[in-house]
A and B are shown apart, each in its own frame.
Chain A
Amino acid sequence: MSNIPSDLKYAKSHEWVRVSGDIATLGITDHAQAELTDIVFVELPAVGRQVKAGEACAVVESVKTASDIYSPVSGEITAVNAAVVENPALVNTAPDSDGWFFKIKLSNPAELNALLSPEDYKKQIGG
């Protein structure tokens, strides 16, 4: 059974967002890491990059395949997690804590309203 923390918001494309003021932290869900398994490489955006909601801005690679990661919100990348680049297995072991990908300064906080609640995400993944 996938872990779906109740304090996060979710994107249909299996990213989670944790909001603190105007900064959102983003990672991939426990369900997504379980589907990918064996994550061997993570590529993150440059700090300072402007991203639009729905834009592919990171890549996560399992043994089998490469998958794009989409930001469900717009804004400027303010920090990236060097620890997951160094140790990609963190995404498997701690997807919604130490395995976070990047932080983004929200330019349009209203976009958060389009994200899924934990209950709705749970329904989407059939959990």
Chain B
Amino acid sequence: MLKRTALFSAHQKLGAKLIDFGGWEMPVQYTSITDEHLAVRNAVGIFDISHMGEVTVSGAAAAEFLNQLLTNDIKKLTPGLGQYTLMCNERGTVIDDLYAYRLCGDVYFLIINASRVEADVVWMKSQWEKFPRRSELTLTDASHNYAAVAVQGPRVKDFINDVIPGASISAMRVARVTDLKKNEIGGFKFENHSVLVSRTGYTGEDGFEIVGSDESIRHLWGKLLTVGAPFGLKPAGLGARDTLRTEVCYPLYGHELDEETTPIEAGVGFFVSLDKGEFNGRAVLADQKANGVKKKCVAFKMTYKSAPPRPHYPIWANGASVGEVVSGTQSPSLHVGIGMGYVPPEFAKPDTKLEIEIRGKRFAAVVVKKPIYKKR
């Protein structure tokens, strides 16, 4: 039996096509992936992201614990700030990628992938048991307490203050939602509910992610649809979420990231802080940063018109099969096949000629600098 979010009946009413995503029955599209994608690029879209997991970590030793657990430096976070980070095992390969927020003093809030909640919590608990100061922190899987929506696109700033009016009351203190800067998080009153609003997203556009109780998010969804409609707001599904994030080369766990891949190989080494002291996987990651990697995640574009590249299609270079596509689609913004895949580092430079094998035939592609799509 698939799990359903607080917005399930809202999706049904909108006529969404539903699919299984990480054990959740989620909308893949409402009308058309292309239309929803372009709404986010040109106006605004809302996504149900209630399936994502939430973990709270609090207490005097929380920061020290998280700095052992995660690759980025948690001590860079002042209250009200968040960071992209990764959770690696001792081999330096990725258990999950996540956002870590510092809400206040010793209270941290982690947003993790839906498909990884169970694996993450098992891993975090095993790490907690080994942690000398474990009595000085509390770790709680709060995933079932929260629903969430993402509101993304250039027009969101024009109406979000009307949906969630007033100043924040916790975390980052600002006079209005649009005063939040990128990666900042604030607690706001929405009707009679408390919601957490961060200026983050997974689309390459300006936008906010809003976490709250099931009831608050149900109300918020309805209000966003109404107030956002004159600004071109559309509900958008996981299909558009995937094409949007692929265009800007954000990794998706299970595609660019898995337990056989390190953050350095995936091209997210910027979020690995080698100088913060010891942490899980540090030795492997330091070695890779210094001495290089055997595979690298590259972005590519198809050179001519072809069928869209798809995950698992072979990548060829110099007449030999050298790797595999991990994400691929027809880009709704660029009208060309795009994707990401792993190749040996000698084929990872921009402008390197590749071929993508599609149903037994090879088609020309070229390595491009990330992101594939840049805002004009």
Which residues of A line the B interface, CB within 8 A?
35, 37-38, 40-41, 43, 59, 61-66
Chain B proximity of A24: nearest CB distance (Å): 25
Name B312-361 residues within 8 Å CB distance of A. 329-330, 332, 359
The complex places the Cα of A65 from the Cα of B28 at a distance, in Å, of 12
Given contacts A37-B29, A37-B33, A38-B33, contact A63 B307 (CB under 8 A): no
Chain B proximity of A33: nearest CB distance (Å): 11
Most buried by B among A40, A64, A65: A64
Contact for A61 among B34, B243, B308, CB less than 8 A:
B308
In the complex, 12 of the A-B residue pairs with CB atoms within 8 angstroms, ordered by the A residue number, are A38-B33, A38-B332, A41-B306, A61-B307, A61-B330, A63-B239, A63-B329, A63-B332, A64-B28, A64-B33, A66-B307, A66-B310
Closest to B17 in A: A35
The complex places the Cα of A35 from the Cα of B37 at a distance, in Å, of 18
Given the complex, which residues of B lie within 8 Å of A37, measured CB to CB? 29, 31-33
Are B239 and A64 touching (Cβ within 8 A)? yes
The complex places the Cα of A11 from the Cα of B140 at a distance, in Å, of 53
Which residues of B line the A interface, CB within 8 A?
17, 28-29, 31-34, 37, 239, 243, 306-308, 310, 329-330, 332, 359
Given the complex, which residues of B lie within 8 Å of A38, measured CB to CB? 32-34, 332
Contact for B243 among A41, A59, A63, A65, CB less than 8 A:
A63
Given the complex, which residues of B lie within 8 Å of A64, measured CB to CB? 28-29, 33, 239, 329
Closest 6 CB pairs of A and B: A40-B330, A63-B33, A38-B34, A41-B307, A37-B32, A38-B32
Given contacts A38-B33, A64-B33, A66-B310, contact A59 B359 (CB under 8 A): yes
Chain B proximity of A122: nearest CB distance (Å): 20
Are A59 and B307 touching (Cβ within 8 A)? yes
Q: Main SS of chain B's interface residues?
A: mixed
Chain B proximity of A115: nearest CB distance (Å): 27
The complex places the Cα of A61 from the Cα of B337 at a distance, in Å, of 12
The complex places the Cα of A48 from the Cα of B122 at a distance, in Å, of 59
Given the complex, which residues of A lie within 8 Å of B306, measured CB to CB? 41
Closest to B335 in A: A40
Contact for A63 among B17, B31, B330, B359, CB less than 8 A:
B330
Are B32 and A41 touching (Cβ within 8 A)? no
Chain B proximity of A35: nearest CB distance (Å): 8
Most buried by B among A35, A61, A66: A61
Closest to B239 in A: A64
Chain B proximity of A90: nearest CB distance (Å): 15
Given the complex, which residues of B lie within 8 Å of A40, measured CB to CB? 308, 330
Closest to A38 in B: B34
Closest to B307 in A: A41
Are A43 and B307 touching (Cβ within 8 A)? yes
The complex places the Cα of A26 from the Cα of B359 at a distance, in Å, of 22
Most buried by B among A40, A61, A63: A63
Closest to B332 in A: A63
Closest to B308 in A: A61
Closest to A62 in B: B33
Closest to A42 in B: B307
The complex places the Cα of A40 from the Cα of B239 at a distance, in Å, of 14
Chain B proximity of A74: nearest CB distance (Å): 22
Given the complex, which residues of A lie within 8 Å of B329, measured CB to CB? 63-64
Given the complex, which residues of B lie within 8 Å of A43, measured CB to CB? 307, 359
The complex places the Cα of A112 from the Cα of B170 at a distance, in Å, of 70
Closest to A89 in B: B34
Given the complex, which residues of A lie within 8 Å of B29, measured CB to CB? 37, 64
Given the complex, which residues of A lie within 8 Å of B28, measured CB to CB? 64
A40-B308, A41-B306, A64-B329 provided; 9 other pairs, C-beta below 8 A?
Answer: A38-B32, A38-B33, A43-B307, A62-B33, A63-B34, A63-B243, A63-B308, A64-B29, A66-B308
The complex places the Cα of A40 from the Cα of B308 at a distance, in Å, of 8
